[in-house]
Structure 1
Amino acid sequence: MAELAALEDPKARAVNEKHGDDHGVNLGKLRVLAKRLKTQQDLARELWASGDTAARLLATLICRPKAFERQELDVMVRAAGTPKVHDWLVNYVVKKNPHAEDLRLAWLADPDPVVASAGWALTTERVAKKPEGLDLSGLLDVIEARMKNAQERLQWAMNHCLAQIGIEHPEYRARAVDIGERLEVLKDYPTPPNCTSPFAPIWIAEMVRRGPEGRHR
């Protein structure tokens, strides 16, 4: 904890707070610390229990993802708090856990929009890497009906899934683009130069243009 406190950078905190996060640790330096600590599941649990955002981010980097029980991960996602902790927990821990599919299905139907966003993030992962058994048309139905008025983090997650379906599955591409164009979600989102807009029709077109190799650079 003392090392994490020493890494505090007021400028980094100011930037992070604009995105709803409450830590001032440079994430590059945090990864260097994690690399030195290596995997330590007990320490990871202690860091998470501290409730400190930087400590929780570090915990997601040094834990053993497969060691968590289903209920434990459910509690952690509900208590994650800040967007960055939630994002790292889902991407670095839950996705690698044997209960990921069970949690995906449970979270998709959860009334808490932040928990539901985790379910959509796991669904997007399956759309890209293991689409067998997914009802892609049904997912598009849900996105079409609910994305426009969804809470911000849930809306982002659903939009990512919409784009991924359009990118990875040519047979659904025209419908995914049409949904994006009609709902206009994130159409006017400010996008820096050399970055791809999160507006689904533009995102899909750019990733398809790059082809399979360019998408994963």
Structure 2
Amino acid sequence: MSRKPSADDWPLVAILEALKERGSEENRAGLARFGIDASNAFGVPMAVLRPFARQIGRSEDRALELWASGYHEARLLAILTIPPKALTDTQAWAWLADIQSWDLCDQLTNILAKRAGSEAMVGPLAEEEGEFLRRAAFALIAWRAVHAKTSPDTEFLGYFPLIKSGATDPRNFVWKAVHWALRQIGKRSASLHGPALQLANDLVSAPDKPSQRVGREAFRELDSAKVRGRLGLPDAP
């Protein structure tokens, strides 16, 4: 029976060296094309990081070291390898405050969305002015629509005022998360599809261009034959 990896097997310096070896200039350039600051990145894709995270195992102390290093992929590894109990609200807020890229934001909120009670973070995050903190609110909604299987429809209907308000934010990484959240709610169930589609349609008619854009993007997908078919709904008239 194989032994579980420990932090002693993979100290910080060894992990950073391994990331350097696994990175490439081509992948660093790819990060930049997708709007991610690659100045402190090795250029290691997630397809490589995920199995590497399983190889090095979980450790709270080492995850904190990885994050503190400031390297992009090291921070992704920190998210992937911190023990679930160690990712408290306080720790999550501290990391979210550091984030300046959409992929770190989305990876962290993906983990948070699987945790009971994470819906309590949505409102406070949506009130934040920082672009990635506000994005985190709507990314968390989107991920909860996927992961929070037992949550009632009322939770997701309750996000509509936040989505309507957030849709007015013209910042690139915010508005994209807002329509992502609305789309995921509408795809969650047949009963949520109609209200989400209606909100998307209302946003199309809003007086401001950011809301109109959010509405168009969400309406296009939610009204598609593919989404309607998956939910067992008739085609649009």
- TM-score under structure 2 length normalisation: 0.73
Please give the alpha-carbon distance, in whole angstroms, between the structure 1 residues aligned to 2:89 and 2:200. Answer: 35
Please give the alpha-carbon distance, in whole angstroms, between the structure 1 residues aligned to 2:196 and 2:230. Answer: 14
Match of 1:12 in 2: 27
Moved more, 127-136 or 102-111: 127-136
Same amino acid, percent of matched pairs: 23
Q: Residues 163 and 204 of structure 1 are in contact (CA less than 8 Å); yes or no, is this contact kept in structure 2?
A: yes
Match of 2:84 in 1: 65
Please give the alpha-carbon distance, in whole angstroms, between the structure 1 residues aligned to 2:152 and 2:222. Answer: 18
Please give the alpha-carbon distance, in whole angstroms, between the structure 2 residues aligned to 1:149 and 1:108. Answer: 11
Q: Residues 101 and 132 of structure 2 are in contact (CA less than 8 Å); yes or no, is this contact kept in structure 1?
A: no
Please give the alpha-carbon distance, in whole angstroms, between the structure 1 residues aligned to 2:61 and 2:105. Answer: 20
Q: Which amino acid aligns with 1:106?
A: P
Shift of 1:133: 4.0
Q: Which runs of 5+ in 1 are unaligned?
A: 188-197
Please give the alpha-carbon distance, in whole angstroms, between the structure 2 residues aligned to 1:71 and 1:125. Answer: 20
Q: Say which of 128, 134, 148 aligns to 2:155.
A: 134
Match of 2:9 in 1: none
Q: Say which of 133, 142, 158 aligns to 1:115.
A: 133
Q: Residues 40 and 62 of structure 1 are in contact (CA less than 8 Å); yes or no, is this contact kept in structure 2?
A: yes
Please give the alpha-carbon distance, in whole angstroms, between the structure 2 residues aligned to 1:135 and 1:47. Answer: 34
Match of 1:41 in 2: 60
Q: Residues 193 and 222 of structure 2 are in contact (CA less than 8 Å); yes or no, is this contact kept in structure 1?
A: no
Match of 1:191 in 2: none
Q: Residues 204 and 212 of structure 2 are in contact (CA less than 8 Å); yes or no, is this contact kept in structure 1?
A: yes
List aligned pairs for 1:1-217, cutoff 5 A: 1-21=16-36, 22=38, 23=41, 24-92=43-111, 94-98=112-116, 100-128=118-146, 129=148, 130-134=151-155, 136=157, 139-167=159-187, 168=189, 169-182=192-205, 183-185=211-213, 199-206=217-224, 207-212=226-231
Gap change, CA 1:26 and 1:166, over 3 Å in 2? closer
Match of 1:193 in 2: none
> Rg: which structure is higher?
2
The Cα offsets for residues 159-208 of structure 1, whole Å up to 9 and x where unpaired, read as: 11222233331340441341353344168xxxxxxxxxx92112112352
Q: Residues 105 and 119 of structure 1 are in contact (CA less than 8 Å); yes or no, is this contact kept in structure 2?
A: yes
Please give the alpha-carbon distance, in whole angstroms, between the structure 1 residues aligned to 2:159 and 2:57. Answer: 38
Could you say what the CA RMSD is over the residues aligned between the two structures, in angstroms?
2.6
Moved more, 177-186 or 75-84: 177-186
Q: Residues 163 and 176 of structure 1 are in contact (CA less than 8 Å); yes or no, is this contact kept in structure 2?
A: no
Please give the alpha-carbon distance, in whole angstroms, between the structure 1 residues aligned to 2:18 and 2:166. Answer: 44
Q: Which runs of 5+ in 2 are unaligned?
A: 1-15, 206-210, 233-237
- TM-score under structure 1 length normalisation: 0.79
The Cα offsets for residues 28-57 of structure 1, whole Å up to 9 and x where unpaired, read as: 122221121122222212111111111111
Q: Residues 74 and 103 of structure 1 are in contact (CA less than 8 Å); yes or no, is this contact kept in structure 2?
A: no
Give the count of matched residue pairs.
201
Gap change, CA 1:181 and 1:30, over 3 Å in 2? same
Gap change, CA 1:174 and 1:6, over 3 Å in 2? closer
